[in-house]
């Protein structure tokens, strides 16, 4: 995890990355939790009482799994249970704009 930030007068911009390599998904190392590399950016303009921000997340539009767990399950009618990796999908390329006024 790391990044770089640029500041000049009312402007602020940053570029951040997050990397997590492949790792064991269970105690026996038979399942692998897949790693990922994400790149995010943030550009902000700020005055005394006004600000505007543009956020770009997952700039490379990588398909990634945010949370990964080894889970054992068995469906009705199956003789044996199956252990497999289940996951929460990560967010795709996302744009977000914020504009605000402070009182």
What DSSP assignment string belongs to 53-85?
A: EEEEESTT----EEEEEEEEE--TT-SS-EEEE
Tell me which residue range forms the domain holding 30.
Answer: 2-65+91-101
Q: What is the pLDDT of residues 59-93, one digit of tens each?
A: 999 999 999 999 988 888 888 988 889 999 999 99
Residue pair 32/20 in contact by the 8 Å Cβ criterion? no
Q: What is the pTM of this model?
A: 0.79
Instruction: Evaluate the CA torsion angle 90, 42, 37, 21 in order and state its sign.
Output: negative
In a domain, 35, yes or no: yes
d(CA 68, CA 39): 20
pLDDT of 94: 97
> Does residue 28 have a pLDDT over 90?
no
Output the average pLDDT for the chain: 94
In a domain, 56, yes or no: yes
Backbone angles phi, psi at 18, to 5 degrees: -140, 125
In a domain, 77, yes or no: no
d(CA 85, CA 93): 24
Q: Count up the domains in the chain and report the number.
A: 1
pLDDT of 75: 86
């Amino acid at each position: 995890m790391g990044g770089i930030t640029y500041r000049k007068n009312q402007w602020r911009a940053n570029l951040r990355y997050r990397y997590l390599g492949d790792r064991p998904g269970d105690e026996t190392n038979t399942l692998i939790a897949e790693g990922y590399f994400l790149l995010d950016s943030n550009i902000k303009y700020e005055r005394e009482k006004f600000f505007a921000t543009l956020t770009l997340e997952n700039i490379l539009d990588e398909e990634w799994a945010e949370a990964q767990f080894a889970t054992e399950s068995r469906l009705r009618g199956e003789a044996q249970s199956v252990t497999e990796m289940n996951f929460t999908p990560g967010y795709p390329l996302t744009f977000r704009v914020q504009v605000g006024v402070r009182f």
